[in-house]
Amino acid sequence: GTERPAARLFSNPPGDYGSMVNEVVGNGDWDETESLGEIWRGRNTYAYGRSEGGGGVRSGTARPEVLDKLLSTTERVVQEIDSVEYGLTDIQEYYSNTGALKKAAENRKQLDPATGAKKKVAVSIIEAFGGSDDKVPVKDVEDVLRMEYRSKFLNPKWRDAMLEQGSGGAYEVSQRMTAMVGWAATAEVDNFVFDQAAERYALDEQVAKRLQK
């Protein structure tokens, strides 16, 4: 039988770090969205705990079969955000881990007879910085993405403030552009986000020139 079927804490091999999904998205070195989930899965097959490995709690054991079973039964992924400054669309780590985990779980789902596609896995976002101690806001990832894009990346005031910062601001714009692609590949991003991003950055000649400097 499978050893340690109750293992629940999975991560990278000892001494390694990161899912590498953000590097693949940033380089454009992928074709199918499913491959991003498999990259995440391949980087997180090590189980950790007191009985894992031979070097104490810091030594893990590769248990890909247990991880696959857990992924196949996953229906919802929960991600906590504890900072007002950095949201889902601001840095690469969220889509490269939470989004890619969602995709890895969906890759192992059965086809939905009603749609002919694999069943979706939901993502809930807990905004730990908001609300009271007994009532922390929990939102669907799609709603959080829409709010963040409208308030920052697609907001002309935010864009203009970034342009005033020169190369540093251009870097912030590029980071969010890459994150937009990453979220679209691992979750769902509304078409209006891409349309308005093109309008505000690529198709505006003055803005495009300033970003290229």
Residue ranges in the chain whose pLDDT is less than 50? 1
Strand partners, 46: 11, 62
Query: What is the per-residue pLDDT for 1?
Result: 44
Residues 51-78: tens digit of each pLDDT: 666 555 557 899 999 999 999 999 999 9
Say what the pTM is: 0.89
